[in-house]
Amino acid sequence: MNKYLILIISIVGFLKPSAGAYGQANYLQYHKEIIKCEELIAEGKFKDAINSFDSIFDHFDFAFLRDYKLATELSAFEQDSKSSFRFMRLAILHGWTLKSIQKNRSLSYLHRDPQWINVESEYDSLHNIYWSQLDIPLRNQVHEMYKKDQKKALGALFKIGEKNQTKYAEKKFAPHSEKQLAELNKILTEQGYPGEKLVGNKWWVSVILSHHNSISKEYALKDTIFLKLRPMLIRAIEHGELHPYEFAIIEDWRTAALHQHQSTSYGFLGVIPDKPALEKVNLNRNTIGLRSIELRNKLIDIEKESGLNLYLTKGWQKSKITVANK
């Protein structure tokens, strides 16, 4: 075993989170801890947030790439290069590419640090470890499902008028989607949700499920396939396999289809008409481990003020989410 390989193994051993107090915990707790970090950020307590991220990463066996990136950039913003490089290496072990890191302007001052050269030289070995931890056959399987889904969905673009598009969705896309969800049901039962933990940071399955839920109002009213999968998706959140944001988007597409975009379950699609609806949305978000609408809006302000990227997975909601009657 050569000296370089020994160095990489020792680095990985140092970086690997221990199975501490939260190691076997329900991942709803993980997301609640992340929200506490975000609350500290919203209060301008960046150093306290960095310490909290450090504690979370030490105690959970798996963390989402989004959170490693945020911790890295926050540390760089605070000129805490030691923490920034530690989080950066963890992020690489969870899929952050060197190309993306090199292009990140928030990290540019780190290029002058001697550790930067070390990270670049270690990158290939760390990235190979990331790939070794994924289920590659499953990744390939769901990628093929995603490509088939995209190809079928494109057919709707060639139909002129909403009526023809709905007809295509119900007659052509729906049978295809039902086969996809039957295959997904088998995967969920036997292997778990094929999300970031199992196949990497690709949200292929959430796109497939969102397409299924957005076929039409009439289809959503009678559909039972998604409702049978839903308990497995909730368990996937609890096991750290499915990010709450992905689940929220999947469900919001169904709500939007059922209510013609005049209602929303999580605030990402449709509108929040009044304060009682806002309270319901926040309750739904809290149940699956998502930050409140108010906290999200505060974090958007922090992004604008500081120039930080807080990785809020905004999707269609680029700006603040507001209540319609305000």
Question: What is the rounded average pLDDT of the residues 209-225?
Answer: 96
287 pLDDT band (50/70/90 cuts)?
very high
Mean model confidence pLDDT for the chain = 89
Beta bridge partners of 323: 272
Where residue 293 falls (left for φ over 0; alpha for ψ -120 to 50; beta otherwise) is: alpha
Question: What confidence score (pLDDT) does residue 12 get?
Answer: 41
Question: What is the rounded average pLDDT of the residues 194-204?
Answer: 95
| In contact, 266 and 251? CB cutoff 8 Å | yes
Both ends of the chain: CA-CA distance in Å?
Answer: 66
Q: Where are the domains of the chain?
A: 3-132, 136-258
Question: What confidence score (pLDDT) does residue 323 get?
Answer: 86
Question: What is the rounded average pLDDT of the residues 39-66?
Answer: 96
* Residues 267-280: tens digit of each pLDDT: 998 889 889 999 99
Q: Where are the alpha helices (DSSP H) in the chain?
A: 3-15, 27-42, 46-59, 65-77, 81-93, 98-103, 114-132, 136-154, 162-168, 174-190, 196-199, 204-213, 217-222, 225-238, 244-258, 275-288, 293-306
Question: What confidence score (pLDDT) does residue 24 get?
Answer: 46
Residue 7, pLDDT > 60, answer no
